[in-house]
Chains A and B, each alone.
Chain A
Amino acid sequence: MVHQYIPNVSKIRKQMMDEVGIKDIEELFADVPQEIKLDRELRLPPPMSEPEVRRHLSSILSKNKPFTRMPTFLGGGVWPHHVPSHVRSVIHRSEFLTSYTPYQAEVSQGVLQALFEFQSMICELVGLDVANASMYDWATALGEAALMCARVTGRRKFIVPEIISRDRLSVLQNYTSGAHLRIVKIEPEKDTGQLNLKKLRREVDEDTAGVYIENPSYLGFLETRVDEIAEIAHKVGARFVVGVNPISLGIIKAPGDYGADIVVGEGQPLGNPVNFGGPALGIFACRDDEKLIRQLPGRLVGMTTTRNGETWGYTMVLQTREQHIRRERATSNICSNEALCAVAAAIYLASLGPTGFRDLAETCAANAKYAMDGLNRIDGLEAPVFDSPHFNEFTLRCERPGLSIEKFNRELLKHGIHGGKTLKKEFPELGETSLLCVTEIHTKEDIDLLLEAASRIVK
């Protein structure tokens, strides 16, 4: 039989079998024990034509509920935001969509300039001088930051807050185990969730390569004593690393302005959609310090004048840090980045502009506050769990006996609402708690729907 997609006609198959010396294809599977072989044809529906496949798939897809028909309050590292349609339209130009690493500057000015703009806007946003052309995601950027601190200081201890995404922590440990770094966690203050500075002071020492905080934290609250944390880190010669949701920087002070030496973060909310948790976009920036820049991981695009001094040109710079030149001694094993996502972020940031970006951050914070206050007013719910200022995410605890947070979320689903991320596996000590995310895409009606449903559920 000639198969539609496998063009080996029986004559060719016979030739191939003669070549390897078998009579039947089954002989190739002689090593597979008889008892684990499926002794019948697969029970699959008969082949379909293209229109039939389309009809079949769209009937499956119709079970999906778009955001507009079912508000969702999921965040926790990937956040839903409106992506203006021109972002998609511009990145779908084939010059961006299909471009490879721009090693050859003379034929890659477009993508190089777009990445340079991305780097420049990230620098402006985080308050630092140098940003690379992106990393895979926040977690890998954090892993690289820890390794970079160790290379710069020659030390082996990296301090992180205990309240951090478990996924991110796991990637950090994976990245740093080969270099024999010791990841030390600092307990939070019980009431505020913020870093316990007494414990931090006790833990920092001559072997501390870096101190890391997240602002806003994984559970949505803000670290308010950032100046002190920077001072504690710098006093022992450690580097201060801050992880961010970049949207928050529309209203929160830039980490570079409170002493951060390295800033990492998740760039997905900048113009990149939410599909199965991604695609993600790692942000990585550092201070203008030659020691740091020499140890920076990833691609860097620089701007220069052309030989005759007439026009600007762009090119990858400081490539001697990278593995295609430095091989096993490279600053990092990363040889890819998220160029297309970075271009999307650049287009997004450029379209919003500083004023629009501030408006966006204010709207997210105000919407989250409205939802948080509303939920907290409901008897049997506490929001937030921590007594600290919050940005666009917050914790919600269910305090009604017998009502677990899973049950609460299931009930919300019945009301056509997707609740927050359950935190019981990651932070069992917080009890029946979930993490809710509210952004500019949540209308007052969406939030009121949540409040109404929640009060009915806990009644």
Chain B
Amino acid sequence: MVREGLYYTREHEWAKVEGALVRVGVTDYAQKKLGDVVYVELPDVGKRIRQVAEPKTSDMEIGTLESIKAVSVVYSPLSGVVKEVNSSLADKPELVNSSPYDDGWICVLEPSSLEAELEKLMDSKNYIEYIKKIK
């Protein structure tokens, strides 16, 4: 399931523009691949981050997702500053599985160069094509 109107990374994060801010999470495809998420490591509010690019570095990370037998890094779809984190994931990490695009969001960013960076992300149509190819 891919939601329209969001922007997507090749690492399976989504970004949703909400006025001057951007909400970030992982895609339905990502949560299915991970399996049951048991712990979410969230970024510190105020952390300055860069949009994910190669080679990946730690200043592009906005958290980690732990499932029972795997750990994966969540990369930031955009550069900016972390304004808010989804603290309900501390007690209910399973929200990432049950509601990846809504209640399972990871954090909210204040983007630093929104327009230029959105162009580097995929829209829902391109993302659907992208996951078809990697399947």
Contact = CB atoms under 8 A, between A and B. Distances in A.
Nearest to B73: A329
A326 interface: yes
Contact of A325 (B41, B71, B73): B71
Contacts of A320: 38-39, 66, 68-71
Contacts of A325: 69-71
Interface in A310-337: 320, 325-326, 329
Which interface class (under 10, 10 to 19, 20 to 34, 35 or more) fits B? 10 to 19
A297 B69 CA distance: 17
Contacts of B69: 320, 325
Interface of A is mostly: helix
A326 B73 CA distance: 10
Interface residues of A, number: 5
Contacts of B66: 320
Interface in B45-67: 64, 66
A326 B64 CA distance: 10
Contacts of B70: 320, 325
A325 B71 CA distance: 7
Nearest to A329: B71
Contacts of B73: 329
A320 B73 CA distance: 13
A351 B11 CA distance: 55
B58 to A, nearest CB: 10
Interface string B64-97: 1010111101000000000000000000000000
A335 to B, nearest CB: 16
Interface in B6-41: 38-39, 41
Contacts of A326: 71
Contacts of A294: 39, 41
A326 B65 CA distance: 11
A326 B68 CA distance: 11
A192 B53 CA distance: 57
Contacts of B41: 294
Given A294-B41, A329-B73, 9 more contacts: A294-B39, A320-B38, A320-B39, A320-B66, A320-B68, A320-B69, A325-B71, A326-B71, A329-B71
Interface of B: 38-39, 41, 64, 66, 68-71, 73
The 4 A-B residue pairs whose C-beta atoms are closest, nearest first, are A320-B66, A326-B71, A320-B71, A325-B71
7 contacts: A294-B39, A320-B39, A320-B68, A320-B71, A325-B71, A326-B71, A329-B64
